Amino acid sequence: MAWHPATIARVLAPVALLACGGGAKPPAAPKPAPTVEVKPPPPPPETEQDREKRRHDDALAIVPDGATCLPVALKNPGAPRLELAAIDRDAVVCAIDQERTRLLGAVACWTVEVSGPNAGVMTYQPATPLPGRGFAVMIDDHCARGFCLPKDVKVPSDSVALMAWNLEGTKIAVLVGDDSFSIRGDKGVTSEPTALHWNGEALFVEASDGATSPVWVFKPSGTAVGPIEALGGKDKAPLSTRNGSFLLLDAKRVAISEQGLSTLTIYETDTGKRSKLVRKVPAPGGACKKDELDARWHDASANISAKCKDFIDRNYTHLIGADAVAGTKNLLVMLRGPRLGELAVIDAKTLAEHKAIKMPWCDAAQGGGPKASAAPAAAPPAPTADKASSFAPAAEKAPDAPARKAKAGPKKPEDPDAGGQ
């Protein structure tokens, strides 16, 4: 084919003219259609079943399901606290969460052998609240673990409620701030409530003003009985659990331990009768001066000598905050501080220690036990609390009620050293 440059020029010329603007304007670009932002639907509101599953999963991250030893993480500050109860002649230990930003309740529970060749062996059981022993929970949607408050009750700024099941696991008491319960007034609480317990026909409110921690007694109807007072003396000063503890001994007796179980005042819930035991402690000799001991009881961070600190650790520290339940001749005591993870058998009259039972701690390889596998039970619709009572009224047994009932309160466990004294 012959090449014709002139023809190519004639074809390209109009193109050049158009490119220089010599032709019609190009059509305007179409405007984009207006867009409407489509927001995803809001997530459904969290239900009590959702919260229970979340708590369950968080608990298993602390103590794996089926663990037969104590995870070493329980020794850390802020870790769940080991608490003790006697249920159906068994010694039951539960790890109860104390972290105020989550308050999971019972994280794990075990029955513990306290006598025989297997003393100290732990058997895992589902985590449930201990009968009578109170615990703190978070308030969600004006409800505490499914028990809902009247709408006009003001939720405290920390959104924390105090709860306690009765010994039979059939009724629950709930304490929320000052607006929902008449814990104040004549014979009522004068400082900040810190714990709630239920033993027999009495409710007990622990409170603290930063210097002392008295315990007030109420009837389940809300009637105030007053603080548990010291025996003797003219001023009738309330007993304080500061440097001691509040103990649920059995179905009819509670007690207040003072200054590392230096003394134990027993209170009968039916009659209000009190009795007092004194523990014989070795003389400090040159280890502690009186002002050092006084300073330690006033302030746990007080600067004292190394010798005095060692003396206090050997004789008192393991009993500050200790739990105890009563047998026929002895007390079974959950120890604290340097002896955390031990149960001690203590004489019910002299408070002298007879022997110790060591629960096993998990090593790094064990990690607390086998992998988690259990699923939480579904929660029923939330019942509503009645504002007419000073404490939340009786409610039927709920999913996190104590797993086993004791018809007349927790039975006394067999004495670990029965017949061996």
CATH number at residue 147: 2.120.10
- Output the pTM of the full model: 0.80
> Is residue 390 a part of any domain in this protein?
no
Separation between Cα atoms, residue 344 and residue 340, nearest integer Å? 11
> Is residue 39 a part of any domain in this protein?
no
> Is residue 27 a part of any domain in this protein?
no
CA-CA distances (angstroms) from residue 239 to 71, 157, 214? Answer: 35, 29, 6
> Is residue 338 a part of any domain in this protein?
yes
Q: In what order do the strands lie in the sheet with 192-199?
A: 192-199, 202-208, 215-218, 224-227
* Cβ–Cβ under 8 Å, residues 250 and 412: yes
> Is residue 392 a part of any domain in this protein?
no
CA-CA distances (angstroms) from residue 286 to 173, 281, 282, 297? Answer: 49, 15, 12, 18
- Helix or strand (DSSP H, E) at 92: strand 90-96
**Domain limits at 225?**
48-281+316-358
> Is residue 399 a part of any domain in this protein?
no
> Is residue 325 a part of any domain in this protein?
yes
Task: Identify the DSSP state of 292.
Answer: H
Q: Which amino acid is at 353?
A: E
The rounded average pLDDT for each run of 10 residues, N- to C-terminus, in the chain (421 residues) is 37 33 66 79 89 95 96 95 94 96 96 95 95 95 89 88 94 80 84 95 95 95 93 85 97 97 97 96 90 91 92 96 95 97 97 97 62 36 35 44 50 50 35
* Cβ–Cβ under 8 Å, residues 272 and 225: yes
> Is residue 354 a part of any domain in this protein?
yes
Q: Identify each DSSP E strand in 201-262 by its residue range.
A: 202-208, 215-218, 224-227, 245-250, 253-258
Q: Identify each DSSP E strand in 338-421 by its residue range.
A: 342-347, 353-358
Of 77, 120, 68, 44, the C-alpha closest to 342 is 120
Of 77, 154, 132, 73, the C-alpha closest to 107 is 73
Angle between helices 290-298 and 306-315 (to 10 degrees): 60
Name, in order, each residue with C-beta under 8 angstroms of 333's C-beta and a sequence gap of 6 or more.
84, 319, 322, 323, 324, 343, 344, 345, 346
Looking at residue 186, its pLDDT comes to 87
Structural domain count of the chain: 1
Looking at residue 413, its pLDDT comes to 58
- Would you call 293 helix, strand, or coil by DSSP? helix
How crowded is the C-beta side of 184, counted as CA atoms within 13 Å?
A: 8
Q: Identify each DSSP E strand in 113-188 by its residue range.
A: 122-125, 135-138, 143-144, 147-148, 160-165, 172-175
